Amino acid sequence: MAESRRRVQSRHDLRATAVVSGLPHSFFTWQREVRIGESASATAFWVLIAFGPAGLVAINVLGLFIDQGAIATHLIAIADAAPGSFGDLLVTQFTLIASPSPGSIAVDAILVVTSLWTISTAVAMLMRGLRRGYGMPIAPFLLVRAIASLAGLVSIIALGLLAFSIDMASTTQQVIGITCASILAFALILGLHALAVGRAFPWRNLWPGAAFSAIALALIQLLWERAASFSPNASPQYGAITGLVTSMIAVWLAAFSILIGA
């Protein structure tokens, strides 16, 4: 009897070892077939392009409800939290835009159109990657791109309001802000999964991947802040391109984490 138990246990151990050792091979095979890296690169490219116009749109919209001088002051505080990073360079430009000025309706309209186009393209690339991950054919996403444009703009405004309400010097508010941002990220990612696959998969099959991606995004954000703290030290040797490269890697990892949730 004891010998039989040892044989059964040995079989179970061998099977478990085979499963664990086969996971990396299965993952890389799946990743190569669905081209997750390619989709993440395309998404990151369009997201980086969308940063500028989308940020300006958010500032202009916030300026309708909040004093632009207060927005500029808050942006300076955010930039001081990560000096030398790509975000610092971007926020510096946003600060100039957010300074009180009469503005231009034509310029604002161009910014809105540009931001909607770049955001919708990035989201479309992301959803194509999600469909590949779920083993579904690529769809044109004409209607979905329109929905993604509105969702992207609403998300930018929501994140802008969230960033404005957080006191960067307060640890408690930072924790609250990260928690709220994680919940918002989970809801947005779950919505992306649902829009990408339609009714092919029930919601209960989508939320674990969305939760994994939201947690991964929070970890990437922490790593990005850590990397940004080294940017001032690297800038004298490599110049301002250091912050850009760091941000490109962070955005690619963020897109990859969302796609791998499929």
Contacts for 63-70: CB closer than 8 Å, 24+ residues apart: 63/98, 63/103, 66/164, 67/100, 68/98, 68/99, 68/100, 68/101, 69/99, 69/100
Domain membership flag for residue 26: no
Residues of the chain above pLDDT 70, percent: 31
In sign, the C-alpha dihedral spanning 253, 254, 259, 262 is: positive
Each residue's pLDDT tens digit, 180-191: 777 777 877 787
Residue 59 covered by a domain:
yes
Inside any domain, residue 136: yes
In a domain, 8, yes or no: no
Instruction: List the domain range (segments joined by +) for residue 104.
Output: 35-260
* Domain-located, residue 201: yes
3 located within any domain: no
Count how many domains the chain has. Answer: 1
pLDDT in the model for residue 79: 55
Region 78-99: what's the mean pLDDT?
A: 53
pLDDT in tens, 12-67: 343 344 444 555 555 455 555 556 666 666 766 777 676 666 666 666 666 666 66
Residue 64 in any domain: the answer is yes
Does 203 fall in a domain? yes
pLDDT in tens, 72-88: 666 656 555 555 444 55
